Structure 1
Amino acid sequence: MSDLPQLPVTFRPAITRVVLLTAGVAIFAVITAVALLLEPLTPGERISFVFTGALLFGVLLMLSRPKVVADDSGVTVVNIAGRRRLEWPEILQVNLRPGDPWVFLNLSDGTSLPALGIQPGIAKQRAIADARALRALVEARSLHDPEPSPGASQG
């Protein structure tokens, strides 16, 4: 398959990330400016304004974390508050159905893992292309890592 992406490849919602980080910087700057410009505020109140701006920026920074990184040995899924490393054989299926907020990975242990790094929110066509690329990688890697046949002896 010549249309497979070069590994390693990172899938992430770039436009969403830019919007979140830009909003975070703007919110922090505005709240800090208000804290510095309001004369009747005490130093403690100014610090609380700046802390609130930093806290809001931190939340938006966490929301911008999601990504899916595929490399030769497997896939790393980074979601808002967690990270999970998967070997290629663990991923059975890559799903992005109409109306899904992000890709879901069906795993060999019977569970499904949301992969927020591929989400059709703002850039739907990009998310569909990324989901297809990840699906093609999973299918290609499952062909390269076949399970040993039950009748095969191990020497």
Structure 2
Amino acid sequence: MSAPVQLPVTWFPRRTRAVLLPVSALLVVMFSAIAVALPANWQLNDRVAMVVSGLVFAGAGLMLARPKVSADAEGVTVVNFVRSRRLAWAEIVRVNFRQGDPWASLDLADGTSLAAVGIQAGVGHQQAVSAARALRDLVEGHGRAPAEV
């Protein structure tokens, strides 16, 4: 059995961010340099479009680097690619992370499920399993009354 997790805690794919954040910055620099280096017969709107393209690609990279799962005394915040959702501990029924799943998912009290992309197998299966177990332990410790767990 592992040591209990101390709150607050945040899980996120570190290697993914370590790659995507510098690559996003590099895209902006590269597309801007290309816009400046374009031949003289290219119009200003072409140059602006090149810079905007770099910003769009960088924005996509930043969006992919966004996912995280944060837990504190009041509950869990799940930040996925586009949306964030704040959950009270009692709203989470179970943490699932089955073999072959790309990321953990949370079964919620309203009968729905929520992907927790911040805990993902693609960046280290054992690390993701440990994070999912830690979140599961926190849910069991903070969640519903014992009769309902």
Distance 1:32 1:18 in 2: 22
Let me know the Cα RMSD of the aligned residues: 1.9
Please, which runs of 5 or more residues in structure 1 have no aligned partner? Answer: 150-155
SS at match of 1:62: helix
Task: Provide Cα deviations, 1:90-144, integer angstroms capped at 9, x if missing partner.
Answer: 11111111111110101111111101110011222211111111011111113xx
Letter in 1 for 2:145: P
Letter in 1 for 2:52: F
Task: Provide Cα deviations, 1:38-61, integer angstroms capped at 9, x if missing partner.
Answer: 223222211110011001111111
Distance 1:140 1:122 in 2: 27
Distance 2:113 2:63 in 1: 22
Q: Which has the larger radius of gyration?
A: 1
Matched, 1:118 2:119: yes
Distance 1:20 1:101 in 2: 18
The residue that corresponds to 2:21 in the other structure is 21
Distance 1:44 1:2 in 2: 58
Distance 2:47 2:126 in 1: 44
Distance 1:132 1:12 in 2: 15
The residue that corresponds to 2:75 in the other structure is 74
Q: Following TM superposition, by how much is the alpha carbon of 1:2 offset from its aligned partner in structure 2, in angstroms?
A: 7.7
Contact 1:15–1:123 (Cα < 8 Å) also in 2: no
Q: 1:86 to 1:101 in 2, by over 3 A?
A: same
The residue that corresponds to 2:36 in the other structure is 36
Q: TM-score, normalised by structure 1?
A: 0.87
Distance 1:99 1:2 in 2: 23
The residue that corresponds to 1:55 in the other structure is 56
SS at match of 1:75: strand
SS at match of 1:94: strand
Pairs within 5 Å for 1:70-109: 70-109=71-110
Letter in 1 for 2:84: R
Distance 1:47 1:79 in 2: 30
Percentage of identical aligned residues? 48
The residue that corresponds to 2:138 in the other structure is 137
